[in-house]
Amino acid sequence: MDGTQALHGLSGKTAIITGGASGIGLAIARAFARAGARVWVLDRNAEGAGAAAREIGEAAEAVVCDVADAASVRQAFESVFAHGRLHIAVNCAGVAHVGTATTTSEEDFDRVMRINVRGMFLCARAAVGHMKSQGGGVILNMASIAGMAGLPDRFAYSTSKGAVLAMTYSIARDYLGDGIRCNAISPARVHTPFVDGFVAKNYPGREAEMMEKLGQAQPVGRMAEPDEVASLAVWLCSDEASFVTGANYPLDGGFLNLR
């Protein structure tokens, strides 16, 4: 038994992770499997979800799911329910966007809301309906410091993550009596393949300079690693955190309070 299993056991638990094919979602799926959980990797990228599940091994299965499509969410969640009880749902799927209120198109605003807000609503609704009938469970939503602070050029993204926090508190309140806990993690910048791709696309030849700048935006002087978010996710979804609900955990390297 490794340290993750010993400290934060998820043995016997079944978990869904949306957006589990890459980045933070993949890190959480890996960490959950190491902690003993059976993991369902949900992602709209069928090839990526399959690759993630194969990498994780026997503890993981892949399911194609477009979180913004109600029929796709219903079908994906029902396929998981058919194998038994769902204990944990991690809503990690989402998209970013750069723009202000005047430079964001209606199409881009709607796309961000459709995936980040509607998608989280559809997945949370599916999970809650099942958990209520099964004696409870845990829902963990991936929010962002963008939903808590004024960040430049992040109008649609910040709006969506503010909505995620509001949904988190509402779910925690409404289903307290059903044994369902609901919390959120709000990371600052996390070093994922998305960040590498964004920098390479927008700052060719200046990658090292921009990565340094992005890291220095956090008072600790670097970006978070996906595994650090995953470690917090494991604890919040474990029985050790049974007293924690309706909470938001900034994982921000001091960004909110130490700038």
Helix (H) or strand (E) holding 239: none
Q: Greatest CA separation found in the chain? A: 55
φ, ψ for residue 62, nearest 5 deg: -105, 140
Write b or e for each residue in 106-145: b if 16 or more Cβ atoms lie within 10 A of its Cβ, otherwise e.
Answer: eebbeebbebbbbbbbbbbebbbebbeebeebbbbbbbbb
Helix (H) or strand (E) holding 42: strand 38-43
- Residues 71 and 63: their CA atoms lie apart, in Å, by 14
Burial class (CB in 10 A: 0-12, 13-18, 19+), 257: exposed
Given the residues 157, 169, 203, 249, select the one marked as catalytic. 157
- Residues 38 and 10: their CA atoms lie apart, in Å, by 9
Cβ atoms of residues 169 and 246 within 8 Å: yes
Catalytic site residue 203?
no
Known catalytic residues? 157
